[in-house]
Structure 1
Amino acid sequence: MGGLLSFLTLRRNRRQQRAMHSTHQELLRLNSQLSHLADTDTLTQCPNRRAAYSRLGQELLQLRSYDQYFCVVLLDLDFFKAVNDRHGHDVGDQVLAYFSHTARNTLRASDFLARIGGEEFLLILPETRRAQALPLAQRLLDTIIANPLYLSDKTIPFTFSGGLIEAHKEDDIQHLLQRADRYLYAAKLRGRSQIIDDKAYDKPPSAELKEKQARKTNNNE
């Protein structure tokens, strides 16, 4: 009789252990899902600003500890307001989703693209120096230019401007983004649809280019 009771108790304990393990696994799955939702932009399925800042912190730590240099490109879709005004916000949303999809298929698997607000994206290129980063960013821009969004009743061409920097060990996240934003602004000023880095930034735009860009801005925004 005692043996039977021990056997039944053992079976009960195993069932309880299996149930507890199953519950634990389900909780892990749900926590992972919630974490993903908290760090993901629902429209583009890119990481969001929170995730981008977390990744920047990790990359800066790797740079300071192991000399693993990386580059950042701050991207902004050109004349996006005009897309929304002419075609509606639904089409604007499709442009954002299409850009994100195209970018992920063009970039390296190790690269990190996040939507940090509106039509603005942050591209992190790990273990990449400036000389390597510029052709990577340019390839993305060329791909976007060559592949507009085709809808059933219209074609939506679009471009983006970018400010590219290589991170320094003394950077913090705020300073990193401020430098990238400065070059992004220069790309907008100098005609858009281009990538500006520190070398290009040192070359001031001509007065003719400034006037041309001012006319273009007035016509589109």
Structure 2
Amino acid sequence: MKIARRKKRGPLSGPNHAASAALLSAIVDSQTLAAVYDAQDFLVYANQAFIDAFELDDARAPVSFAAVVLHNADRGRGAIEHRDSLSFIQDAQSHRRGKPGQRTFITHFHDGRFFLMAETLHESGWITLLGVDNTAQSVHESRLEAERRRVGTDGQTDVLAGLPNRQRLLRLLETAARACSSGVAFTVAMAEIDGSRAINEASGHAAAQETLTDFARISRRMIRAHDVVGWLGGQQFLFIFPELTELAAQETLRAINHQLQSLPAAARGIPRPYSFSCSVYTLHPGDEPANTLKQANETLCRAKRNGRARVEVAGVPSSGQNPAAASSEGNDARGDRGEVPARVLTAADYEVKCGQGVAGLAGYRSKLRIRRLTDGKLIYPFEGCLVPGPFQTPEEARAAALRLAEELMHLDMLNPEL
């Protein structure tokens, strides 16, 4: 006897346009964070809750995952990473782009909230991300983790040991070069302490080691939280600056040099103040780490030949050299009337001091001073000039000063006689 079987109904997960529309409406309007990344890791959809949590209202589209991380780190908003941004991106990508499937994790935001995130990597390479507020359950665990991290940090007395080493820096450079492909800019600087042999011979190996530690301590204090400074070995260090122009990187490096030369040596536990010379290199998509170090080292050697406390930019002739002299052999560098052409001005020909000042109750205003070193002319400020501001934060005021400095220097390079 045959048993009559009830005809199976379609699965609940099957196509249902009305249900899909209702689900999409709920995601769009809810406080659940919702986002979609494509196979190239560009953010192609985010609901308003996600945009608000990561403060992406002013982000430029398209936005890559790396750009979202750096956007938040640069402003000290959105999600909190307890490491430098490049290390976070590198580690996160190994989890996000592994085998297709779902993973869950807790994300802590600067506004004090915790979200339980569910991230799914699909066979197509696309990623969907959902996050629900988990603050109440996470506060206790967060306090325990903060205490554990504090105890671990207190036990780390060797500053150099806390810096990324050469192997780690090579991996970070590889991660940065990949991020460049999605539109994130990076500036790299290789630095070497001036007169290190003299310090070693005059004061001994221990004093030379203290000088290295002093450099690491002051450099870490003066760069942004998501910048990287690492120890290459010997007297050399490497800086990686995400979303920082060559000009802004030079300004940061000169500020570090000023501190190293002006702060009292005895209070720092070193025999005497010192300086460093460095090269500045703009990272390009696909740059191999070894080639990046080679380019930076070649420019650093040029800086060392030209004196102390030098900042040289890769691909830009030194301020003390005539670019015309680099013309091919057999070509006459003189004009039709036998005159040597005027040397082309570069960023190294300007002294730039950027900062911010309080503008009463209105917030902060930019402070900027630009002097042309070739003749001492003050480029900015000038009579009747505009002062950028007011801004809500000192970081915004300083960033505006740097942007204005770049524009004014570019105009002066084009028309130095004005």
Indicate if the aligned counterparts of 2:196 and 2:235 stay in contact, CA closer than 8 A: yes
Indicate if the aligned counterparts of 1:115 and 1:122 stay in contact, CA closer than 8 A: yes
Residue 48 of structure 1 aligns with which residue? 165
Residue 191 of structure 1 aligns with which residue? 307
Give how far 1:203 is off: 4.4
Residue 3 of structure 1 aligns with which residue? none
**What letter is aligned with 1:140?**
I
Indicate if the aligned counterparts of 2:184 and 2:243 stay in contact, CA closer than 8 A: yes
**What letter is aligned with 2:184?**
Q
Q: 1:148 to 1:185 in 2, by over 3 A?
A: farther
Residue 131 of structure 2 aligns with which residue? none
SS for the counterpart of 1:76 is strand
Indicate if the aligned counterparts of 1:150 and 1:156 stay in contact, CA closer than 8 A: yes
Residue 179 of structure 1 aligns with which residue? 295
Q: Which has the higher contact order (CA 8 A, sep 6+)?
A: 1
How far apart are the structure 2 equivalents of 1:152 and 1:107? 19
SS for the counterpart of 2:278 is strand
Give the number of the structure whose residues are more often strand, by fraction.
Answer: 2
How far apart are the structure 1 equivalents of 2:280 and 2:318? 13
Q: 1:189 to 1:152 in 2, by over 3 A?
A: closer
Give how far 1:138 is off: 1.5
Indicate if the aligned counterparts of 2:177 and 2:286 stay in contact, CA closer than 8 A: no
How far apart are the structure 2 equivalents of 1:145 and 1:163? 19
Q: Which runs of 5 or more structure 1 residues have no equivalent in the other structure?
A: 1-28, 207-221
Encode CA deviations 1:21-62: one digit per residue, 9 max, x unaligned: xxxxxxxx9xxx9xx9xxx9x561211111111111111111
Give how far 1:79 is off: 1.2
Residue 89 of structure 1 aligns with which residue? 205
Residue 381 of structure 2 aligns with which residue? none
Q: Which runs of 5 or more structure 2 residues have no equivalent in the other structure?
A: 1-144, 323-418
Q: 1:156 to 1:168 in 2, by over 3 A?
A: same
How far apart are the structure 2 equivalents of 1:171 and 1:68? 14
Q: Taking structure 2 as the reference length, what is the TM-score of the superposition? A: 0.37
Give how far 1:81 is off: 1.1
Residue 256 of structure 2 aligns with which residue? 140
Give how far 1:118 is off: 0.8
**What letter is aligned with 1:126?**
P
Residue 247 of structure 2 aligns with which residue? 131
Indicate if the aligned counterparts of 1:190 and 1:205 stay in contact, CA closer than 8 A: no
Q: 1:173 to 1:148 in 2, by over 3 A?
A: farther
Indicate if the aligned counterparts of 1:98 and 1:149 stay in contact, CA closer than 8 A: no
Task: Supply the RMSD in Å over aligned alpha carbons.
Answer: 2.8
Moved more, 150-159 or 138-147: 150-159
Give how far 1:131 is off: 2.5
Indicate if the aligned counterparts of 2:174 and 2:287 stay in contact, CA closer than 8 A: no
How far apart are the structure 1 equivalents of 2:168 and 2:228? 10
Residue 266 of structure 2 aligns with which residue? 150
**What letter is aligned with 1:101?**
R
Indicate if the aligned counterparts of 1:75 and 1:121 stay in contact, CA closer than 8 A: yes
Q: 1:162 to 1:153 in 2, by over 3 A?
A: closer
How far apart are the structure 1 equivalents of 2:215 and 2:274? 9
Q: Report the structure number with the largest CA radius of gyration.
A: 2
State the identity %: 23
Give the number of the structure whose residues are more often helix, by fraction.
Answer: 1
**What letter is aligned with 1:196?**
E
